[in-house]
Amino acid sequence: MSSEAAHHGDAQQGVAEKDFEPRILVFCCNWCSYAGADLAGVSRLQMPPYFRTIRVMCSARVDPEFVLRAFQKGADGILVAGCHPADCHYIGGNYRTRRRIALLKMLIQQFGFDKDRLRLEWVSAGEGEKFQKTIVEFTNTIKELGPSPIHGGD
Amino acid sequence: MIMTLREAKIRASLRTVEGERVRWLLGKKGALVTTGNVFGEVVSGPRYDVIVQKAAAVELERNLLLQEMEDGPRTVHELHDQTRIPKPEIVKHIIALKKWRLVEQVGMKGQSPQYKALPGKKEVT
């Protein structure tokens, strides 16, 4: 490939990367993470607009099936946000979530998804900034990984 | 073909996470790591993680094979072609599935026995 062609290819890839609008699903627990997301919003912290939030009463409410179905339907990345360990409103819900996410990371690799497409993060009600940083980082990670394998990506 | 296999693996994963074995293991971590099982055997945290990952990997393969055998009788060679699981592993899985009465031998294709999935507990009314 000539340097011009290589440059053209890079430019095309750049355009494709720029055009790629990841579909990210964020599960937030009602007591901590959703309040953290709300705080990020009212604090007017800038976040990429590619994520959709689903509020659940506890991060343990996120059944592994929800995650697998979302990937099956074409989600590019899924973020599960819950209370910090030992802060769970339901005592031990987030410990269960941690076990499930570890298992799901293994399972999604079995059908060709990168394990980084699924992320678990602890965000408390006062951590609006952390929520914003997590969203920005996760969106960048997904943009680097490209579209979901369901849509022909890697 | 690749797309079909991926879809099949996603469906098998869904069955795996809904399955008794994986759900039981996920729910029992506290007891297994602190007080131990019914024999008083305590499992360390890292060991527990290995057990869960291994159980899930085995269940995933078995569910993948079961899905194929639900569509009709299959030989080990056909199962290998469709799922890419090594043949010795398929034989081990079929022995386990036969033990649990989830598959049965229904005939022969050439010199290879054909296996078919039996209705699971959920489908029995």
Please report, rounded to a whole number, the percentage of residues in chain A having pLDDT higher than 90: 81
* pLDDT score recorded for residue A14: 54
**Cβ of A81: how many Cβ atoms within 10 Å?**
29
Q: A65, B18: Cβ pair inside 8 Å?
A: yes
Interval B43-91: pLDDT, tens: 999 999 999 999 999 999 999 999 999 999 999 999 999 999 999 999 9
CA distance A2 to chain B (A): 33
Interval B112-125: pLDDT, tens: 999 999 986 554 43
Q: At A152, is the pLDDT very low, low, confident or very high (cuts 50, 70, 90)?
A: confident
* pLDDT score recorded for residue B10: 93
Q: Are A127 and A36 in contact (CB under 8 A)?
A: yes
Bigger pLDDT: B3 vs B105? B105
Whether A2 shows a pLDDT value over 90: the answer reads: no
Q: Which amino acid is at A3?
A: S
**Cβ of A123: how many Cβ atoms within 10 Å?**
29
* pLDDT score recorded for residue A16: 57
ipTM of the prediction: 0.84
Whether A1 shows a pLDDT value over 50: the answer reads: no
Question: B 21-50 residues with CB below 8 A of A?
Answer: 22, 26-27, 29-30, 49
Cα A127 to Cα A20: distance, rounded to the nearest angstrom: 29
Give B105's DSSP letter.
E
Angle subtended by helix axes A93-110 and A64-72, to nearest 10: 30
CA distance A105 to chain B (A): 10
Interval A90-132: pLDDT, tens: 998 999 999 999 999 999 998 899 999 999 999 999 999 999 9
Q: B56-61: long-range contacts (C-beta < 8 A, 24 or more apart)? A: B56/A103, B56/A106, B56/A107, B56/B16, B56/B22, B57/A106, B57/A110, B58/B93, B59/B16, B59/B19, B59/B21, B59/B22, B60/A107, B60/A110, B60/B9, B60/B12, B60/B13, B60/B16, B61/B12, B61/B85, B61/B89, B61/B93
Interval A26-54: pLDDT, tens: 999 999 999 999 999 999 999 999 999 99
How much is the average pLDDT of A56-77? 95
Whether B1 shows a pLDDT value over 70: the answer reads: no
Reference B100, options B82, B83, B125, B118; nearest CA is B118
The chain A residue lying nearest B9, using CA atoms, is A111
